Structures are given as structure tokens and as C-alpha cells.
Amino acid sequence: MPQENTSEKKSKGVVVITGASAGLGRSIARTFAKNGYDVSLLARGLEGLQGAQREVEAMGRRAVYFQVDVADADAVEDAAAKTEEQLGPIDVWINNAMNSVFSPIKEMTPEDYKRVTEVTYLGQVYGTLSALKRMLPRDKGKIVLVGSALAYRGIPLQSAYCGSKHAIQGFFDSLVTELMHDNSKVTATMVQLPAMNTTQFGFVKSRLPNKPKPMGKIFQPEVAAEAILYAAEHDRREINVGWPTLKAVVGNKIAPWFADYVLANNGIEGQQTSEPEDPNRKNNLYEPLPGDHGAHGPFGDQSTNFSPQLWATLHRKEILTSAAALGGLLLLNKFWKR
């Protein structure tokens, strides 16, 4: 398979992205390439990987891809080793790969839970282990774990996914404290996501009568990709993307009973369109769907490209500095009027 495209531009570093063939992962790959990174692409879908590689190379960066199921720890480790052989030391590792099943719990199977957990939770664990193996001896690197508002607040119809994201949150807490204890310069950030217009709603296994859709306000994946880039380059423990995410995280801490009531009444219908679903639709739970699907789902006309909350979060130093300067000017003006 084609592997590299040598670039004359100086690289900002090497980033590994799991789940890079479509959806958010595809947008992350574009964002990092645009910002000067060489990219290692990990996913199962060959055509999507090849399309992502072409996009990265078109931006003047080097790209390699590996057909990897992140539920296979040995395959993840092999891809990490080959990435460093072909691109150089890994500076950033982004655990993004996920899978899900839209289904009431009473209709779920043990196999469904096992598969979603292996991909969505253990895939991030395996990626982190491979990253630490290389970063710790160098005492340098950033690991980004892609979370969700659902890491704090479970919702109906996505119990396997919510459970996996909760598990990632617990794993992340342990990881951060151990790195701190060891005074390591390897750092980790978890980015919590809102509903997004990605390909997953046409990919995941579903037992719903109607087609699934994102619940609440929908963001384009580029919004989250920019937050993940910021996380890779700054020392932040956690970043919440969008007001709905912040509201879910904080609101569930204050009044989980109220969230129970709201979701019990609105959470089932709120995750379905009015279009009937094809009960025989193929899904990517165990095998990738053929084709290059890109980054976006079918909800573009309902999605936003900007989050004021995220902008304020990423520019909080500038905002605080400006507020302090303005406060100083007001005090000075008041003093001179005396």
C-alpha cells in the first residue's frame, strides 16, 4: 500500500488518530494536517483510510494508514511501532474510535455490549498503553481521550455507548493522577463532545423503528476537531465542547433526577427522525461498511459551525486579561474624576 509523501515543510509533529477513516476522526485528520502535523491514520475501512491519506498529503503533510480494529491490542501496538518507523516519534495520540448500538436495554444482547465496550472503551485503553510505551521513556507527549457529555450523563437507547464513555472517564482520572504522581511531562486531556453531524448515525447498529439522529443541538465535526487540536497543544485537563455538553455535565451533578425526568419523556423520540428505518440496513458493529464516507452525516442543515461557549473556553486567558484591563481602566477613570 502507498505509505508516505515526503514534504519539504517542517513537521509540527506526528499524530496518531484512531477511527480516522470517517466522521469526527476524518475531520481531526484534516485539522491536524492543515496545522502542520504528519498523520498516522488507524481504522478498519480501507477506502476511507485511503481517502484520508490523500487529503492529508494534498495539504503537504506525510500520511500513513493502518487497517486496525482497535479492539485488538496487538494490532494497535503493531500500528504504533510502524508509525514510528515510517514517520518518526509519536507526539500526539488521539483515541477517537467508537462504536454503538441504538437499542432499548431489554433488546440488547451480551455480544452487543461486549463489542461496543471493546471498541469504545478498551480501544482507548489499548491506544493509551501503546502511546505511553513510547512517550514515557522520552518524557514527552500528549494523549487525547475523546469523551462525550454521555460520559457524565447516560441517556436512553445508548446504554452500551454511555457505559463505555463513563468507563473512559474513570480510566482518564486514574491516568492523570498517575502521571502527576510520577512528575511526568507526558500529559492527557479528555475532550467531552456534544451531538455532532457525523457518519455514525448511518453506520451504527439500530433496533429503532425510525432512523436515528443526534439529540439536541447539533455541531459540525470541525468544531470538535478544533477543540481536540487545542487539547493536543495546551495543558488542559478537560475541555467541554458546546453549551449542551457543559449543561449536561454540570446539570447532572446538581439534579440528576431532573435529567431522568426530561430524558424519560423526550429521550426516546428525540433520538429518532420521522423516517422509518430499514430493519435490514447494514451496520459497522463487526465489519466496516465499504466506501469512503467522509466526515459529515446527513444533518448539515440542522448543524452549527461555531460554539460561543467553546470559543470562550479556549480564549479564557485573553478574556480574563481583557476583563482585568477593563476593570483597571474603570477604576483609574473613577480615581481621576475625584
Catalytic residue numbers?
161
Sign of the C-alpha dihedral computed for residues 245, 124, 48 and 40 taken in this order: positive
Whether the CB-CB separation of 213 and 273 falls below 8 Å is answered with yes
In this predicted structure, what is the pLDDT of residue 6?
Answer: 45
Q: Quick one: 106 exposed, middle or buried, by C-beta within 10 A (0-12, 13-18, 19+)?
A: exposed
Pairing of strands 13-18, 37-43: parallel
Phi, psi of 205 (to 5 degrees): -65, 140
| Residue 126 to residue 124: CA distance in whole angstroms | 5
- Match domain 13-306 to its CATH number in 3.40.50.10480, 3.30.420.40, 3.40.30.10, 3.40.50.720: 3.40.50.720
Which candidate, 289, 230, 294, places its Cα nearest to that of 21? 294
Length of the chain: 338
Whether the CB-CB separation of 242 and 219 falls below 8 Å is answered with yes
Sign of the C-alpha dihedral computed for residues 149, 112, 281 and 76 taken in this order: positive
In this predicted structure, what is the pLDDT of residue 28?
Answer: 98
In this predicted structure, what is the pLDDT of residue 2?
Answer: 44
Q: Quick one: 215 exposed, middle or buried, by C-beta within 10 A (0-12, 13-18, 19+)?
A: buried
> Which three three-digit cell numbers place residue 78?
503493531
From first to last of the 338 residues of the chain, give the pLDDT tens digit: 444 444 467 999 999 999 999 999 999 999 999 999 999 999 999 999 999 999 999 999 999 999 999 999 999 999 999 999 999 999 999 999 999 999 999 999 999 999 999 999 999 999 999 999 999 999 999 999 999 999 999 999 999 999 999 999 999 999 999 999 999 999 999 999 999 999 999 999 999 999 999 999 999 999 999 999 999 999 999 999 999 999 999 999 999 999 999 999 999 999 999 999 999 999 999 999 999 999 999 999 999 999 999 999 999 888 878 777 777 777 767 777 66
In this predicted structure, what is the pLDDT of residue 8?
Answer: 60
| Residue 31 to residue 113: CA distance in whole angstroms | 32
| Residue 80 to residue 90: CA distance in whole angstroms | 8
Predicted TM-score (pTM) of this structure: 0.94
Hey, where are the domains in the chain? 13-306
